[in-house]
Structure 1
Amino acid sequence: MSTVGFVGLGNMGRPMAVNLVKAGHEVRGFDIAEAAREQAHRAGVPVVASADDAAKGADILVTMLPKGEHVREVLCGELTPLKKLAPGAVVVDSSSIDVPTALELHSVGERLGIHVVDAPVSGGVSGASAGTLTFMIGGSDEAIAQSRPALDALGARVFHVGGPGAGQVAKACNQMVVGASLVALAEAFVMAEKLGLSPKNLFDVLSTSSGDCWALHNFTPLPGLVEGSAADNGYAPKFAAALLAKDLGLAATAAESAGVELVVGQGARRVVDELASTDGHLDSSAVIKVINRTA
């Protein structure tokens, strides 16, 4: 078993750290927020006082932080905790961040003789809790092999999509498709209802026809259609609108750097941004509220 430091014990990071403990790894968790540390401790994660303490002597350091600026602040500065890692250790950054910051982290790791993989995930809080996350990984074969003890405890699927930064590119593309699907579903349900078609009848058709998609079964925007949906629970967040808005912003930035015009992607981003500006704490499927207002 490995010694694993874990920085970022929020809604995603906490269950991931719990799964590492359950797998038998020696885990040291840290979060800047006291409430997050307390919740992780109650869930069985050994908690330490700083990111340095989490990294000290660790074979693997996993980070799950909100934004690129946080990754840069915690890991890329002169006093980076990466200097505390065991020689030849690996950093698994599962934050969803911009590509330039991911490349900067790889560069810092190379300078310090530390392996780095950018390893954003898909699967949400439920996947983090069940240990069934999908990892999209950018980095070397050697770095991925070294990170396997952690990845095997956290996810069901690991895709090595390319070199440094490639994981973040894959995540941005994935989130753009998810965001566009959510908005299209919301528009479809609003349009159908206004034209006299019941939500249940539309769901039955979509779920068995060419309009079927992952978002329909996991983030259907109306209650009473999918058991356990956020819509059935007042849109309590399974994946908060504010987080999807952040991801769509990352996708837009990546597309701009590549000279790609996003017609559908930017349209979805505008709708999600509107929801995030007023109800960012709600689940992303609450975009139907925005569609209903504009209808």
Structure 2
Amino acid sequence: MSVCITLTRSSISFMATGARRYSRIGFVGLGNMGGHMAKNLLKKSYKLTVYDLNKSAVTNLVEAGANSAPNVAEMSKEVEVVISMLPSNQHVLDIYTGENGVLSAAKKNVLLIDSSTVDPSVSQSVASQAQKHNLRFIDSPVSGGVNAAKDGTLTFMVGGSSTDFDHAQSVLEAMGSRVVYCGDVGMGQAAKLCNNMLLAISMIGTAEAFNLGQKLGLDAKVLANIINSSSGRCWSSDLYNPVPGILPNVPSSKNYEGGFGTTLMAKDLGLAQSAAIRTQTPIPLGSLAHQIYRAIIAHGFSNKDFSVVYQFLKESAS
């Protein structure tokens, strides 16, 4: 594979010389992330056909210029690329390998791109079955959150053949600012699970630090200014602070609405836990983070952004 690396002030872009330009794309899964990703494809003049069980999400995309399909099979028949952004292992298996799924209808050599976060073994299973149908599959989970999905600055972590990675470049770069090749199918998922486990741990630590600081009498904005210019700085403190009012455009300042839900974070931590058990890898903090997010859900925060751990800690102390 021939790759050229372009440096800019804000990002590193990995541009493969074998990148292809596709025109007809199918997109399934129009939630908080997928809806924005699909709109960015429309902005880049791709012909888009969408499907989701949520009819209002479909209507929103149709109003933006997409076509809609009555089911996944119909969506898959006339496109060159299928992209999915789904919540769980089972959703991915159902959409691709289920009755009237993508594999049952897509034409030979169509490129399948799954940007869901699932167990690496799920990606590997779908890829194996796709190959039997003369289809190509890559796993391509994302990092960056809802704001990055909206702004088109996601990072894609890609697992698959180097050729398929090259061919996916132009599509992925329409939705993100960084596309990284991680290795064979499933390695994108492996990278994502490690990243999200660390994200959960750092968010819990950030929430604990700010809760303690306020209990000691520190103003949260003063503490944020100190942390974000000191050794405690991290993404959770600097760009996604869990304390309401510190940053204007993050879920904590919007009653923890939108963003990356606690249920999804708990799911990802469960996947990391399963992978750790399978590989006999100790993850004591990852396991504790999983327990904490399960407790957050049990306390009624299942529909809130994962930064609500700050509010959970405040209420637990009162």
TM-score for the superposition, normalised by structure 1: 0.95
Q: Does 2:24 correspond to 1:3?
A: yes
Q: Which amino acid aligns with 1:68?
A: N
Q: Distance in 1 between matches of 2:279 and 2:207?
A: 29
Q: Does 2:185 correspond to 1:159?
A: no
Determine the structure 2 residue equivalent to 1:113: 134
Q: Which runs of 5+ in 1 are unaligned?
A: none
Determine the structure 2 residue equivalent to 1:135: 156
Q: Does 2:233 correspond to 1:216?
A: no
Encode CA deviations 1:6-64: one digit per residue, 9 max, x unaligned. Answer: 11122211121111122122111111222222222223321111111211131111011
Q: Which runs of 5+ in 2 are unaligned?
A: 1-21
Shift of 1:79: 4.0
Q: Which amino acid aligns with 2:313?
A: I
Q: Does 2:84 correspond to 1:68?
A: no
Taking the TM superposition and a 5 Å limit, the aligned residue runs for 1:226-237 are 226-237=247-258
Q: Distance in 2 between matches of 1:9 and 1:294?
A: 34
Q: Which amino acid aligns with 2:124?
A: L
Determine the structure 2 residue equivalent to 1:20: 41
State the SS of the aligned residue for 2:174.
helix
Q: Does 2:216 correspond to 1:225?
A: no
Taking the TM superposition and a 5 Å limit, the aligned residue runs for 1:92-107 are 92-107=113-128
Percent pairwise identity: 34
Contact 1:271 1:290 survives alignment (8 Å)? no
**Pairwise CA RMSD of aligned residues?**
1.5
Q: Does 2:274 correspond to 1:253?
A: yes
State the SS of the aligned residue for 1:293.
helix
Of 76, 84, 94, the residue aligned with 2:105 is 84
Q: Distance in 1 between matches of 2:150 and 2:242?
A: 23
Determine the structure 1 residue equivalent to 2:259: 238
Q: Distance in 2 between matches of 1:117 and 1:170?
A: 14
Q: Does 2:305 correspond to 1:279?
A: no
Determine the structure 1 residue equivalent to 2:194: 173
Determine the structure 1 residue equivalent to 2:311: 289
Shift of 1:203: 1.0
Encode CA deviations 1:202-252: one digit per residue, 9 max, x unaligned. Answer: 212110011000111222121222232222222212222111111111111
Contact 1:240 1:282 survives alignment (8 Å)? yes
State the SS of the aligned residue for 2:229.
coil
Higher mean alpha-carbon deviation, 113-122 vs 239-248, is at 239-248
Q: Distance in 2 between matches of 1:255 and 1:243?
A: 18
Of 190, 201, 206, the residue aligned with 2:222 is 201
Encode CA deviations 1:156-176: one digit per residue, 9 max, x unaligned. Answer: 100111101001110000000
Contact 1:63 1:92 survives alignment (8 Å)? yes
TM-score for the superposition, normalised by structure 2: 0.88
State the SS of the aligned residue for 1:156.
strand
